[in-house]
A = this chain, B = another copy of it.
């Protein structure tokens, strides 16, 4: 790195008043720092109150079974309300002085030392401010403060959400549809990105012609918009699917797609930003630069994937070969730390932490989870479920808030209309062609109504918001941010709220038992049917995984001493767990919803799992489902003579309507009453 040659140019604007005129700068520093700290605490407190309100209202909704507004949509509404109050009802007058000095400088260092009468004060670079912001900032300190550094989303809030998505993946259905999911996530996102990008470019050109464009908006900006807005987040829809037990293939495809396309969108947007053509005009077409961007995409994605999987494997080894399972606190703490280290390691190496954390979560769920003691399984699930809940609702509250507190909104009606159109068409271009192509190869066709549902369920959420707020320095980005906010609002409230009616309109069956296989089938049958349904690639992966990876990383059989060639004998003996000789069969796939449900604690055996779902007849559309569901599931309900039964019965009913992030499927009794 070349040293910085500096002749300094400084124009200094001071607007945070107050110095004690006695000249005790030490106290002034502490006072300013303390004031700043108090204000930060007050800001956080506002969010805590928002979240608390949201929780209480969610409870009320669940209590009354109001299914049209999910907790995320609710959090946004509360955020909006508080935003309005902050913007229009609170005024914080300030005294401001400013003095300008001018010189010449080449670059802004990350840290600055300022000598104030012999004392040195350290200043850290927070970021760039647009010229307009400088003017406005004096008027409303309060609003500025309630704005968080966007990196908080990627460093603190998104990782738990993404990890939880990976960790709570329903693996059997995920892998059963792996081909389609990968297609939608990768190819579909790319298609969506380019379609939206092209359409937006057309619109922007049109807008410029009409003279309504206030600044530059290049093709790369359009592509960037396409990338960030292609990240779907159908939290609401999945929660409703869970409650109503919609077909699990549809669920798996939607969930899998959303989880992976978040990862793709992050890396894609970074690659697009990294596009730097050699030519002086920074947005001309340069083939080499395109290739380089593509290389960045591949490199970052694979690197993050590799890191995530490696840390997961390492954790699996550690939990397999130590007896940590005797000490649940230690086990849980270790699991948490190693999952967090996935994120940090990826970030420290310059890759993308959220992508690493996603694949880390999937790996942990697939291998490490089986090595944990039953209590730790519960503890880790609950821990990440809580973190996910808090982080997600925080983000959605913040979304509502920024509609009013963000200082640099650019609402351009033509752009907004164009964006909505482009997003709609982009989703269509993603779903329908790919479904057609996939149906040529799938044994189990993606039906038309499923395709329509997937089209409808393309909600945008946390990832899109975080990606758009990351950089709002120039006109284009500000316009994108404002428009993205509106898109998120619309899709979450309208599409999310309309999910239940849409399920009826499309005649999609609810109350479908997703695990009929696992209850009835013998292991062999299960293996056979899974294999039959799968593509060639999956079959081979499944064999490899069952015969080598699982015995290596978990306590499952068959033992490596049997499957590996004899020259590996010594190594195989080292690596084979004693349990593996007992578990000649495989670990039962315990992803079939043995997540501890609210209020129901499942007892897990040491190495296997108990499937808790029970067969129930595939029922008709939703109106019929509710009455039919009443006859389901006698396995989990205690006999009515038991004095506790009413409470459990009530709780089981409540379970049906518990809308998590759609990551658990309730197989419990339906409520006897439904309005």
Contacts and interface: CB of A to CB of B under 8 A. Distances in A.
Interface of A: 1-21, 23, 25-26, 28-29, 32-39, 41-42, 44-45, 48-49, 51-52, 55-56, 58-59, 62-63, 95-117, 119-131, 133-134, 151, 155, 318, 322-324, 326-330, 332-334, 336-338, 340-341, 344-345, 347-350, 353, 373, 375, 379, 382-383, 385-386, 389-390, 473, 598-599, 601, 650-651, 654, 658, 660
A125 B383 CA distance: 35
Nearest to A141: B111
Given A19-B107, A25-B107, A25-B108, A101 B8 contact: yes
Contacts of A17: 1-4
Given A16-B110, A122-B129, 18 more contacts: A4-B97, A6-B97, A16-B111, A19-B107, A32-B108, A36-B125, A41-B344, A48-B341, A52-B334, A58-B330, A59-B323, A104-B117, A113-B134, A123-B123, A328-B599, A329-B660, A332-B386, A333-B386
Nearest to A115: B11
A508 to B, nearest CB: 27
Contact of A333 (B7, B122, B328, B389): B389
A125 B41 contact: no
Contact of A329 (B95, B129, B389): B389
A442 to B, nearest CB: 36
A10 B114 contact: yes
A129 B113 CA distance: 9
A8 B99 contact: yes
A344 B32 contact: no
Given A11-B115, A113-B129, A128-B120, A19 B38 contact: no
Contacts of A32: 108-110, 125
A410 to B, nearest CB: 19
A300 B97 CA distance: 34
8 contacts: A6-B12, A13-B113, A25-B106, A29-B128, A59-B327, A112-B123, A113-B129, A329-B598
Contacts of A6: 12, 14, 97-99
Contacts of A390: 333, 336-337
Given A3-B17, A97-B3, A389-B333, A350 B125 contact: no
A407 to B, nearest CB: 13
A177 to B, nearest CB: 28
A6 B109 CA distance: 23
B38 A348 contact: yes
Most chain B CB inside 10 Å of its own CB: which residue of A11, A52, A101, A121: A121
A44 B344 contact: yes
A52 B338 contact: yes
A304 to B, nearest CB: 13
Contacts of A29: 107-108, 125, 127-128
A348 B41 CA distance: 5
Contacts of A660: 329
Nearest to A282: B24
Contacts of A9: 115-117
Most chain B CB inside 10 Å of its own CB: which residue of A58, A329, A350: A329
A24 B346 CA distance: 27
A323 B63 contact: yes
A554 to B, nearest CB: 18
A9 B117 CA distance: 7
A128 B122 contact: yes
Contacts of A41: 344-345, 347-348, 353
Contacts of A318: 56
Contacts of A375: 598-599, 601
Nearest to A121: B108
A97 B337 contact: no
Given A28-B107, A113-B13, A125 B127 contact: no
A658 to B, nearest CB: 7
Most chain B CB inside 10 Å of its own CB: which residue of A96, A323, A344: A344
Contacts of A37: 151, 155, 347
Given A115-B10, A120-B134, A123-B126, A348 B108 contact: no
Contacts of A349: 38
A42 B348 contact: yes
Nearest to A14: B109
A382 B336 CA distance: 13
A12 B114 CA distance: 6
A55 B327 CA distance: 10
B36 A110 contact: yes
Contacts of A105: 116-117
Given A14-B6, A123-B126, A124-B126, A599 B326 contact: yes
A115 B547 CA distance: 63
Contacts of A49: 341
Given A12-B112, A328-B599, A333-B390, A127 B117 contact: no
